[in-house]
Amino acid sequence: MKIIYWSDFNCPYSYIGYKRLKKAISELKLDIELEMKAFELEQELDENEIIPMINHYARKYGIPEFEAKDMLKEIDDIGKEEGLNFDYSNAKITPSKDAHRLLKLAMHKDNSLLVDNIIEKTYNAFLCENKPLARKEVLIEIGTTQGLEEDEIINMLNSNSYEIEVQIDEEDAKLNGVQAVPCYFVENGDEMLVIPGALSKEEFKNALMDLKSGDIESKTY
């Protein structure tokens, strides 16, 4: 069984869904290959600008800052229920393309543990530690602490390496009708199940078992 999923490091629900899915797979003791594809939610942001999340939410949704603060607190609470030390309310949003390129560099090493660790560290840096993902020093720290060479990361960031791979992921998302993240495509032989959104752990478990057993009424959960 294989799961290809589109996510963005700027998306708290992508991290929540990732953790729930991993727990579901672990509890079911399934052997599943996971592959993350890039989906940039905030492509319009200037990479040189760092925007406090409350201001970003207020502007994006056209609401007062006190309402944005309440929305962000609700997301923090959901993250904490999953055992994540979310501080999304105080996050500083920037474009995520370079973070996705860093992950592509890790994926090029063909080391699943390295990839998993980079994913975890990148989500945590933004959603829990309030580190802006467009800053080179942040990405260098993420990569080097997980075993990537500093020079290799710097060379990647100072070039257009893996930009095409990120663009291909985003074109594939359009071709597959992915308009929001997270979104999961679960493959089991000739069967495919599409799961949009961060389901609960139990819902993920039910979906995976239904697909594994062939007992599915719909191709979309």
Quote the pTM value.
0.94
pLDDT band at 72 (very low <50, low <70, confident <90, very high): very high
- With beta carbons less than 8 A apart as the criterion, state whether 87 and 53 touch: no
Q: What is the mean pLDDT of residues 44-70?
A: 94
Residue 196: pLDDT above 70? yes
pLDDT for the residue 218: 55
Band of residue 154 on the pLDDT scale cut at 50, 70, 90: very high
| Average confidence score pLDDT of the chain | 94
Please give the Cα distance from 11 to 122 (Å, whole number): 11
**pLDDT tens per residue across span 105-141:** 999 998 999 999 999 999 999 999 999 999 999 999 9
Q: Comparing C-alpha atoms, which of 41, 137, 55, 49 is closest to residue 89?
A: 55
Q: Cβ distance 106 to 143 under 8 Å?
A: yes
| CATH architecture, domain 9-213 | 3-Layer(aba) Sandwich (3.40)
Report residue 34's pLDDT band, with 50, 70 and 90 as the boundaries.
very high
Strands 191-196 vs 51-52: parallel, antiparallel or unpaired: unpaired
Q: Assign 3-state DSSP to the chain and report helix, strand, coil percentages, each to 5.
A: 55, 15, 35
List the chain domain ranges.
9-213
Instruction: Output 101-104 pairs: Cβ under 8 A, ≥24 positions apart.
Output: 101/156, 101/157, 101/161, 101/162, 101/163, 101/165, 101/166, 102/139, 102/142, 102/143, 102/153, 102/156, 102/157, 103/36, 103/38, 104/38, 104/162, 104/165, 104/166
